[in-house]
């Protein structure tokens, strides 16, 4: 294997710079770990658009590899697979790369599904300079105040957990979506759950739920990389 230069990851942080809570950045963080690449993460706040301007994106994750700036978690995953083909395969093969796309899109829908449970907790934990941006952009998106949006979360919990049935049935028969070992499909799906626990004490997953057992396996992966991050013990 070649000895690549350290890759920089712009990583969404809260008021506490160590609180890294983006579901999309976590995908990229674990993808980088899967490839065994040296990483330097840079805490980034929602309003720091200038810092990532060379990427052409207004959102993280953004990585910088030498003089190349790459934005968007799916684009980053593909970049890593194509640039470091001699390192462990992130997708698992050519067909697996195609099959991983639905996981990424499904995980995006999980972010929307989890948002009512954590929206107000995010507001309280983002950097002060991000607070107005976060409230305004998210309230516009959900069509109500974050307070009203989050107030219904207990009523939504049963339906949310039921919506995880396809994940649960899969994970009853295999430890990871990728089989015996995690692949990018796992990291994509893990992102929303890691997001929730890094930002909110709300317990989304019941003890004993195969989805939670799988999540905990990913917390343990790479010497406990995701478990070591500031988070709540949900």
> E strand or H helix at 68, and its extent?
strand 68-71
CB 220 within 8 A of CB 213: no
CB 210 within 8 A of CB 171: yes
Minimum distance between the CB of residue 76 and a second copy, rounded to whole angstroms? 16
**CB closer to a second copy, 10 vs 177:** 177
CB 217 within 8 A of CB 186: no
Minimum distance between the CB of residue 185 and a second copy, rounded to whole angstroms? 6
**CB closer to a second copy, 126 vs 211:** 211
Question: What is the strand order of the sheet 7-12 is part of?
Answer: 39-44, 7-12, 62-65, 68-71
Q: Roughly how many angstroms between the first and final C-alpha of the chain, as a whole number?
A: 38
Minimum distance between the CB of residue 128 and a second copy, rounded to whole angstroms? 34
Query: Which residue's structure tokens are 């959900």?
Result: 142
Q: What is the DSSP letter of 185?
A: H
Minimum distance between the CB of residue 50 and a second copy, rounded to whole angstroms? 30
**CB closer to a second copy, 26 vs 176:** 176
Minimum distance between the CB of residue 100 and a second copy, rounded to whole angstroms? 7
Return residues touching a second copy (CB under 8 A): 89, 91-103, 105-106, 108-109, 165-167, 169-170, 173-174, 176-180, 183, 185
**CB closer to a second copy, 120 vs 185:** 185
**CB closer to a second copy, 89 vs 120:** 89
CB 176 within 8 A of CB 208: no
Instruction: List the beta bridge partners of residue 8.
Output: 40, 64
């Amino acid at each position: 294997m070649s000895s690549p230069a350290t890759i920089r990851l712009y990583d969404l942080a809260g008021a506490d710079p160590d609180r890294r809570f983006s579901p999309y950045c976590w995908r990229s963080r674990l993808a980088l770990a899967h490839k065994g690449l040296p990483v330097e993460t840079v805490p980034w706040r929602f309003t720091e658009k200038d810092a990532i301007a060379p990427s052409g994106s207004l959102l993280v994750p953004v990585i910088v590899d030498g003089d190349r700036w790459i934005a968007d978690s799916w684009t980053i995953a593909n970049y890593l697979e194509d640039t470091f083909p001699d390192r462990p395969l992130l997708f698992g093969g050519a067909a697996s790369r195609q099959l991983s796309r639905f996981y990424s899109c499904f995980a995006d829908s999980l972010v929307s599904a989890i948002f009512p449970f954590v929206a107000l907790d995010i507001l309280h934990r983002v950097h002060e300079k991000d607070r107005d941006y976060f409230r305004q952009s998210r309230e516009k998106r959900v069509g109500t105040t974050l307070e009203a949006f989050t107030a219904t979360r207990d009523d939504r919990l049963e339906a949310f957990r039921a919506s995880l049935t396809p994940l649960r049935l899969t994970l009853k028969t295999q430890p990871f979506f990728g089989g015996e070992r995690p692949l990018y499909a796992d990291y994509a799906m893990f992102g929303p759950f890691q997001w929730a626990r890094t930002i909110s004490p709300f317990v989304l997953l019941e003890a004993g739920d195969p989805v939670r057992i799988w999540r905990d396996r990913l917390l343990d992966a790479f010497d406990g990389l995701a478990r070591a991050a500031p988070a709540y013990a949900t």
